[in-house]
Chains A and B, each alone.
Chain A
Amino acid sequence: MTPRQRRWIFLVAAAGMLVFYLWGLVGLPGFGHYPGPYGDIINAVAVGQTHATGVVSAVNFEYRGFDTLGEEFILFTAATGVATVLRHLREERDTAAEDENSDRQVPVTSDAVRMVTLAFIGPTLVVGWYLATHAQTSPSGGFQGGVVLATAFVLVYLAGQFIVFKRLSPVDLTDAVDAIGAGSFAVIGVAALGTGAAYLANFLPLGSSPGAVNSAGTIALISFCVGIEVAAAFVLIAGELLEQTLIIREGDR
């Protein structure tokens, strides 16, 4: 189809599709009138059963932990896929890949940017760590914490130190950490099998007060492993993508 034909055909088909979709959507109970029962029952029993006050994390890492395992492995696979697709071929290894506009004068990172980003690395790491370890208490969790942790590494790049960034996160190491994080989640589940319970059952002590840091058994542990895995995956992805446009700048060696 030519682009013009395609556009018109799409507009006609999309009109039909829109009508069809809306016909289904109006059958929903109105916005604000969630009918239950899944969410309501979980809200009622989660705190008592898991001693976690963050019910969303309880759903993620306990009630529907098996889903989360799958999602985590999607992340692992996507990161592995990025490393596969952007791997260095023998021919490419010898010549540094050049940016199209490398004849343009690339501005050196200004001191202001450098100072601010370096100053932020520490706090970002702390916040990321906090988020990854407090899934059971507050709106946080492994996924959120992991992304923030990865951001700390990207800040190193922004400070103009790509070489340092690369040295901090070689592909083999981040791939291994990624795999360890993902594998730990699966292993925790198998450990539950070892105690005679179902896969991914919460077999660690639940703690006395709901919402404390040492409560909720495996939820906290799994969340931490997920945090590590997500951080490693995103650092791997960022590193691979950035390396493709490596610009060796004179002043930064």
Chain B
Amino acid sequence: MHVFPFVVVAWILIVGLYGIITSRHLIHQIVCLIVVQSSTYVLLLGVGYKTGAVAPYFYDIPPNTPAVDPVVQALALTDVVVEAAVTALLLAFAVQAHKRFGTLDPEELRQFQG
């Protein structure tokens, strides 16, 4: 049980990379990139967890209650929102690619070779 969440992290990363590499559709490829980043969220949050501790919000509990690590939660929080925006940028690229190339297959985007 100590190590299982981290095995999940590695699995998500590999699956995401497999998706990117075997993808034949840009939208699918970009979503697989999201999957790759999700593995980092699980890792960050898993690293900061403490068994038996509460969330670090002390509005209605005394300030000295053992709480989980707030730093990784702050990092993951901003990362999630930022990733959504960056994905939007990549999807905008995909929209333009469809307009210019007529296809969304990464194998067909061979404007440059060598």
Residues of A within 8 A of B (CB): 3, 6-7, 10, 14, 17-18, 21-22, 25-26, 28, 30-34, 38-40, 42-44, 46-48, 53-60, 64, 67-68, 71, 74-75, 78-79, 81-82, 85-86, 137-139, 141, 143-144, 146-147, 210-211, 230, 233-234, 237, 240-241, 244
Q: Determine whether the beta carbon of B51 is less than 8 Å from that of A32.
A: yes
Decide if B57 touches A71 in the complex (CB within 8 Å).
no
Asked, given contacts A74-B85, A75-B81, A241-B91, whether A28 binds B57 with beta carbons under 8 Å apart, the answer is no
| B109 part of interface (Cβ distance < 8 Å) | no
A-B contact sample (13 more), CB < 8 A, given A33-B50, A42-B71: A3-B22, A10-B21, A22-B6, A22-B7, A28-B47, A31-B1, A31-B49, A32-B2, A32-B51, A38-B69, A56-B70, A60-B74, A71-B82
B33 close to chain A: CB less than 8 A:
no
Min CB distance A145 to B, Å, is 11
- B17 contact set on A, CB distance < 8 A: 10, 14
Please determine whether B64 and A44 come into contact, CB atoms closer than 8 angstroms.
yes
**Size bracket of the B interface:** 35 or more
Give chain B interface residues in 56-74, CB to chain A under 8 Å: 56-59, 63-64, 67-74
Picked from B18, B47, B56, the residue with its CB within 8 Å of the CB of A43 is: B56
Enumerate chain B residues within 8 angstroms of A40, measured Cβ to Cβ: 69
* B85/A237 in contact, CB under 8 A: yes
CB-CB under 8 A from A54, the residues of chain B are 57, 59
